[in-house]
A and B are shown apart, each in its own frame.
Chain A
Amino acid sequence: MKVLTHKQELCTGCLECQLACSRAYFKTDDPNYSAIRIVENNRTYRARKCTQCGECINMCTANAIYRDRNGVVRIDKKKCVGCLGCVGFCTELVMFYADDLEVPFKCIACNICAKACPEGALEVLVSQIKEN
């Protein structure tokens, strides 16, 4: 299973990852369009991003969320009806939506943010754990 990981001790909070993500997918610098969000707490930085746990798959009312062959949880935009139930139900608060978008978005472990990180704090790992 591919999953984005974050090393807090290396992160300086420069937010290059957020920018790389929102630019790549929505051509904007607005952090509200990034699937990774860096949260500061007393000069340490935590990354909010999908753990690929897949809890949203069964709860999706349109059967539009699935795990791809790399183990990444993805939204089928053709099937998604934009109910945003998954946004409300994500325990990690990492299913995102924006006002002018009809469907939610999430981290798909694409590695774009990791490449943009000057400190090497982000990495996409391939886990050996067999997903259900």
Chain B
Amino acid sequence: MGTILKEYRYTPAKIKRGYSGKSLYLNLTDLRFEQKEITDFMKEKLTGGKGFDLWYLWHAITPETRWDSPENEIVMSVGPLGGITQYSGTGKTVICSISPLTDIPIDSNVGGYFGPLLKFSGWDAFEIQGKSEKEILIFIDGNNGLIQVEDASEYPEDTHLLAEELTKKYAEDEDDMVNVSVACTGSGAKHSYMAMVNFSFYDPRRKVCRFKQAARGGLGTIMHDKKIKALVVRYRGITPNLNDVADISTINKVGVKYHKEMHDLDHKQNKMRQIGTANTVMIMSQYDLLPTRNFQTGGDPETYKISPQVFINEWLTQGLHDGCWYGCTMSCAKCADHFLITTGPYAGQRVTVDGPEYECAAGLGANLGVFDPQAILEENFYCDTYGIDLISFGTCTAFIMECYQRGQITQEQMGGLDLCFGNSKAVLELLHQISRGEGFGRIAGLGIRKLKKIFTEEFGADPKLLQDIGMETKGLEYSEYAHKESLAQQGGFAMATKGPQHDEAWLIFMDMVNKQLPTFEDKANALYYFPMFRTWFGLVGLCKLPWNDIVPADNHKTDAPAKVPEHVQNYVDIFNAVTGKSIDKEELIIQSERVYQFQRVFSVRMGKGERKDDYAPYRSLGPVSREEYLSRQELYDRQLRELQNLDPEKMDLDEKIAVTRRYREDQYEQLMDAVYRRRGWTSNGIPTPERLKEIGMDIPELLEVIEPKL
């Protein structure tokens, strides 16, 4: 099936110390392939993964480039540690592009087999530019050094069908299916700005394709715009040391120690092997952190209906291996097998649903007022197969629901959909409408920032209220943690470079529960260290979860339990053992900071990345509505007394809301000042030349961008 439009032959580069030393460039406009050298400069300054992605993207585009400009690129890279098998979470790829939601670089990390197999096929990075005329797929045969571009117009659109068909097509036999990975989006990419890229891995026990997602920022939308239906890679022959590491002995020792820890402690800690990230749903609700009905509250009496135990007992298949790359004993990629679909084009069929992860249970559950596990799993399935980021979809739909609740939009304006909180049937119908490009689905997937404009200009909604309740910053929807009572996390979200995603910082427990960050300086130090540390995972090809979703038994006795010092040392040891370098934990942070500051400068170059872009909607900082204030009245009244020396008994409710707001907005301004100083930025949020010089990133082309802003 499908005419071959182009063939490209290459000699797969031999990997040395974690790097193949080559990247693959494809221009879709004229189907032109090139090989590029990974230079020593790139390895030294950018390490790999997101660093390489941003470097190529930086040189491909101009400040005027937008997501659908032909010169915009999709770049992916797995990093030097990616593909080692001896430690958990070593198959992560980062994809970067200019996002349709934010107009700045988005970076999204993803598990699954595609990234490691791409590297073993000889490519540290894959850079795709231009736009194809026809709908195509690109097949990389890593064993034979052959790349084919094929007409893909006849293949199905939705992920679960497309990946299965392509995995069968390119595998030589059933045993070979694990050696094929597909990267694709789905029908939702045609009509939304929040489409994602799925990476497949074949599960030989369940005999189905499983998926992990590069979900954030509309990467699938860009993929569809470039007319890429799928990328396929096949590499047969995974062996323990394909990365040609410098010191396998150290990696083995660290790996066995970690696997033993997982065996001995996971069932006493987070139960990642049983339920995965959804283990935290009840905890979040108990601590008032589970975003409920568009972040209005932090939990609900009905949360028990979607508790981890419900999914464990009634929905998830237990006892099989659920890692998304070899060697991951954390195995958090859970799934519900033989799940019966009840709506939409696949109604009546039984499918395997990958999930639910925490973000799914929170974003498609509590935040939409849906406390029905079966409905959540069906929403999960459709988001995945349509290729829609369930975080953006969940947060955006929660915003729509609150607009409806508060009379800002009508059922008629939503094409008859009764999108009230809790109506999962309407949510599913909205997903189907986005997939088909019909009705309200034509605009509902454009993201909160664009909907605010449409609702205001076309439906007459109140722009100030929409600004307060629309949970987006920089154009990206918030991920699913209620955080009104944690100032540090407010900054962790709104000052995050790409937009409010928790992969930069998750400080709620440190700040709000354990009170470990009492001063602005403490918070600023945490908002320096953790974003830098967490950035590192995306440079080297690792998953963040094995860092702190399990901790050594004596971690609480260390001087910095939140940093999990023993695991940080594991990473230092593994990095050195793979690459033959000799970094320490301080150099690890500098490696990260080089890319972190580079990305901030990149945002500045694209017209964002300044103080004005780091503000949060007020829903993030405090109570917008009377009901929200009343839901935590005791706390807010106490804060008026203790923090502002005011007597709440002498104030009416609206006055208390207004005074609380002034105080909290001022606190946020002070936090910004402290964080900017700590990160080496001007008071306007611009990285200073001095700081860039200290970390060795005073590269002329970066300085050129920041100098007019100083």
Contacts and interface: CB of A to CB of B under 8 A. Distances in A.
Interface in B260-282: 260-263
Nearest to B260: A88
Contacts of B86: 82-84
A102 B243 CA distance: 13
Interface string A84-119: 110111010000010100110000000000000000
Contact of B329 (A61, A80, A97, A99): A61
Contacts, number: 77
Contacts of A102: 239-241, 248
A124 interface: no
A84 B323 CA distance: 14
A125 interface: no
Contacts of B239: 81-82, 102
B319 A89 contact: no
Contacts of A85: 259, 327, 329
Interface in B181-239: 204-205, 238-239
Contacts of A10: none
Interface residues of A, number: 20
Interface of A: 58-63, 80-85, 87-89, 91, 97, 99, 102-103
Given A85-B327, A88-B329, A89-B259, A99 B320 contact: no
Nearest to B241: A102
A99 B258 CA distance: 16
Interface size class on chain B is 20 to 34
Contacts of B259: 83-85, 87-89
Nearest to B263: A89
B382 interface: no
B320 A84 contact: no
Contact of A84 (B204, B205, B256, B261): B256
B255 A83 contact: yes
A82 B249 contact: no
A51 B348 CA distance: 45
Given A58-B319, A82-B239, A88-B260, A99 B249 contact: yes
Contacts of B240: 80-83, 102-103
Contact of B262 (A60, A82, A88): A88
Nearest to B240: A82
A107 to B, nearest CB: 18
Contacts of A58: 319-321
B326 A62 contact: yes
Interface in B78-131: 85-86
B574 interface: no
B85 A82 contact: yes
Given A59-B321, A82-B239, A84-B252, 5 more contacts: A63-B205, A83-B259, A84-B256, A85-B259, A102-B241
